[in-house]
Homo-oligomer: A and B are copies of this chain.
């Protein structure tokens, strides 16, 4: 695995999670000050570490990201804020950073409980000596941010810019069928391309809009959702000048966006019981935000999600969800295809072969809904999971 240059990684178990051997403290440390940008939950009930990071990014002066899993440090009031600041301070001291503001802090896990700071401190202390730039260290750091996830979520890219090669790597957490912590999504994207803070922030926001902002599991926006981008500029052979030429910026943004989409899709794919990934492609809307609103409404519909769990080509639930989403649709021009079978056209269901479409859904891991809602240029692709009995059983029986 080719990782971006200029970063080291560590993941250790410090006892925040109940199972003592599960990794729950993750470090990403930059060799020197790097550019950092962040996109955060829009929930007004946000966790202490979100407040901390918002106060720091965008910046050209980050040295480390410290993440704990197993406790979200959310709904913890002033003591939670102090604990987040202390996580930054302890990490800053141990990695020889100049000040705590050079450290970004992430937390994920149960909400409403104070962090056991003695364990967190011990975790950071034990992680720092294990920092390394290799794949094993990266994987340990990636595993240590997981909670109810069934599998690790990582992605990498390489990109040639003239004679230079830049690298991008990302780690994420967030489970399709979720447990105590409302599917908090965390993602850290790293690159050795040189980016300025404002540029990195703009790129990351746009990338989020077509990736992490286009996935949903049950429509909850968690208290802790965070997406970070760190750019070291350590790729060899690059001109030292920033900003980069516009075409190179665009290439980097494209690669970052693609990597974010790859990471994002792993979230609804994951998890207990989800039998299908649903890919909802909306086009023909007035503009992209309209398409996004329509796709979100379809994705949020329990009726759509249960129908797809049952492999039922229920066009009515899908088309009517688009109809109440809000943005204008042209019903007479609305067209819906399920796995490329056209089931609704010109305001009417077609004479499709129900058993054939049913079988195509049953046999596919991803069910693709192509929904054209008019003749506008707005489009969006949204990914979600289906909704079956296992999900409900898991979420009803789980007691915090």
Contact = CB atoms under 8 A, between A and B. Distances in A.
A247 interface: no
Nearest to A346: B77
Interface centre among A77, A220, A223, A349, by most B CB within 10 Å? A220
A321 B41 CA distance: 12
Interface in A344-400: 344, 346-349, 354, 358, 387-389, 391-393, 395-400
Interface residues of A, number: 63
Contact of A112 (B222, B316, B389): B316
A399 B307 CA distance: 8
A331 to B, nearest CB: 5
Contacts of A161: none
A34 interface: no
A317 interface: yes
Contacts of A346: 77
Contacts of A77: 346-348
A310 B399 contact: yes
Interface centre among A302, A319, A331, A346, by most B CB within 10 Å? A302
A308 to B, nearest CB: 8
A322 interface: yes
A320 B184 CA distance: 12
A82 interface: no
B111 A395 contact: no
A149 B346 CA distance: 32
A347 B324 CA distance: 34
A289 B182 CA distance: 26
A300 interface: yes
Contacts of A43: 320, 323-324
**Number of copies of this chain that the complex holds:** 2
A301 B43 CA distance: 14
Contact of A309 (B223, B321, B387, B392): B392
Nearest to A220: B303
A182 B319 CA distance: 12
Nearest to A386: B396
Given A111-B316, A220-B324, A306 B396 contact: yes
Contacts of A223: 316, 320, 323
Contact of A75 (B180, B303, B312, B347): B347
A11 to B, nearest CB: 26
Nearest to A79: B348
Contact of A218 (B182, B303, B334, B393): B303
Contacts of A76: 348
Contacts of A319: 45, 75
Interface string A214-255: 000011111100000000000000000000000000000000
Given A45-B319, A303-B182, A331-B44, A75 B348 contact: yes
A392 B388 CA distance: 6
Contacts of A74: 316
A329 interface: yes
A254 to B, nearest CB: 30
B392 A218 contact: no
Contact of A349 (B75, B302, B303): B75
Given A45-B319, A221-B320, 6 more contacts: A44-B329, A45-B320, A75-B347, A112-B315, A178-B303, A302-B387
Interface of A: 41-46, 74-77, 111-112, 178, 180, 182, 218-223, 300-303, 306-307, 309-310, 312, 314-317, 319-324, 328-329, 331, 334, 344, 346-349, 354, 358, 387-389, 391-393, 395-400
12 contacts: A44-B323, A44-B329, A219-B300, A220-B320, A220-B324, A310-B395, A310-B396, A312-B398, A314-B399, A316-B400, A358-B399, A392-B392
